[in-house]
Copies of this chain bind each other. A is one copy, B any other.
Amino acid sequence: MTSNARFAELATLSGDPARASMLFALMDGRALTAAELARVAGITPQTASGHLSRMTAGGLLSVEKQGRHRYHRLATPSVAHMLETIMQVAAELDPDRQRPIVGPRDPALRKARACYDHFAGRLGVALADALVERGHVELTSDAGLLTESGIAFLGEIGIDTGPMLQRRTLRSGRVLCRPCLDWSERRPHLAGAVGAAICTQSMRNGWTRRRDDTRAVLVTPAGERIFRETFGARIE
């Protein structure tokens, strides 16, 4: 029954408030240093270092040495997915937190931000809506599918879906297309390999840019146009 122990270990590691803060901060997919993570959690670097060691040993995080810095990131997409589902349960049983006041205060964060490796906020939801409306993807509350027309559309904007389709086996592996509940909009945006590919492509083409110190994502004028004209998305 060692599987039980693993399970409990993962949950315990995620369950400490300080560690949860750090995991939250890492949900945008970036790699951060111990000092940065200590700051967001409100603890000293020494303490944070201990937490990070435990989470790395437990399989939640992976480390990357670079000079005198050690960058920490979420170990796998599965870990990000796990954190998402816990957040979803947390969101569901907060009946008091109604629509208007939910989520981050920062308007920039509400407009567009990164969620592990894909877009969230109004941008993420609007893109998902547009792709669904045009029949490029099909989404239910917890399942998604990329259609033939979607494959063609992604090809048009320079995304090769070949490698993704390769892995359409039923084994474990990268998610092809999947909804992810947006915690500010309370509606799903696009995650999985398709969501990640769109995010990557947007960054590469200069449609969006990361802002250094936050999860917020900046939509450039070129991006505004592309998202509106090519995707058909309305980000009000």
Complex CA gap A140/B4 in Å reads: 27
Report whether A170 and B132 are in contact in the complex, using a CB–CB cutoff of 8 Å.
yes
Complex CA gap A93/B7 in Å reads: 11
**Whole-angstrom distance between the Cβ of A102 and the nearest chain B Cβ:** 9
| Interface hits, A101-156 → B, CB 8 Å | 129, 132, 138-145
Q: Which residues of B contact A9 (CB under 8 A)?
A: 15
Q: 14 new A-B pairs (CB below 8 Å) besides A6-B90, A76-B89? A: A3-B90, A10-B15, A76-B92, A78-B88, A82-B89, A132-B170, A140-B175, A141-B170, A142-B175, A142-B176, A143-B176, A143-B178, A170-B179, A171-B186
Q: Which residues of B contact A129 (CB under 8 A)?
A: 170
- Given A92-B172, A132-B170, A4 and B24 touching (CB < 8 A)? yes
Report whether B192 and A172 are in contact in the complex, using a CB–CB cutoff of 8 Å.
no
Interface residues on A, range: 35 or more
Complex CA gap A164/B14 in Å reads: 34
**Whole-angstrom distance between the Cβ of A120 and the nearest chain B Cβ:** 14
Q: Mind listing 29 A-B residue pairs with CB under 8 Å?
A: A2-B94, A3-B91, A4-B24, A5-B17, A6-B93, A7-B20, A10-B86, A11-B86, A12-B15, A12-B16, A14-B15, A15-B15, A59-B89, A78-B85, A88-B172, A92-B172, A132-B170, A138-B145, A139-B170, A141-B167, A141-B175, A142-B176, A142-B178, A142-B192, A143-B175, A143-B177, A170-B187, A171-B187, A172-B186
